[in-house]
Structure 1
Amino acid sequence: MTSHGKTHLPTKLCLTCGRPFAYRKKWRNCWDEVKYCGEKCQRNRAKPASAPPPPA
């Protein structure tokens, strides 16, 4: 039996590192937009693939 009630919190997978992370109170109003587990992963996120330049 756990002493705290945090076992039922929703989780997501971080888009950068792929690890699961749980809901936090500070994300209460924007949980649907949260994509990264922390600031480090957000800073190191994959850069969008740019289209190759057209052949000249």
Structure 2
Amino acid sequence: MRDASTFKGNKAHLPSKPCAACGRPMSWRRAWAKNWDDVKYCSERCRQNKGKPGA
């Protein structure tokens, strides 16, 4: 498997994990490259509603 920094367009090979708030799978993004292990939420909306059920 290639390193995520050498991504050439096939998103199937990128790492992914579920959002802590909504459970949707979120794919690796270049903006998250330095802190991928710390990313928990897929969006600002999920981050703001992290403690509310059904967010």
TM-score, with structure 2 as normaliser: 0.73
Deviations along 1:9-53, one digit per CA (max 9) or x if unpaired, are: 001111110111100000000000000001100000017xxxxxx
Report the counterpart of residue 21 of structure 2 in structure 1: 16
Taking the aligned partners of 1:19 and 1:32, their CA distance within structure 2 comes to 17
Taking the aligned partners of 1:22 and 1:6, their CA distance within structure 2 comes to 8
Q: Give the alignment's Cα RMSD to 1 decimal.
A: 1.2
The answer as to 2:43 corresponding to 1:38 is yes
Greater C-alpha radius of gyration: 1
Q: How many residues align?
A: 44
Percent identity (aligned): 50
> Any gaps of 5 or more consecutive residues in structure 2?
1-8
TM-score, with structure 1 as normaliser: 0.72
Give the 3-state SS of the residue equivalent to 2:12 in structure 1.
helix
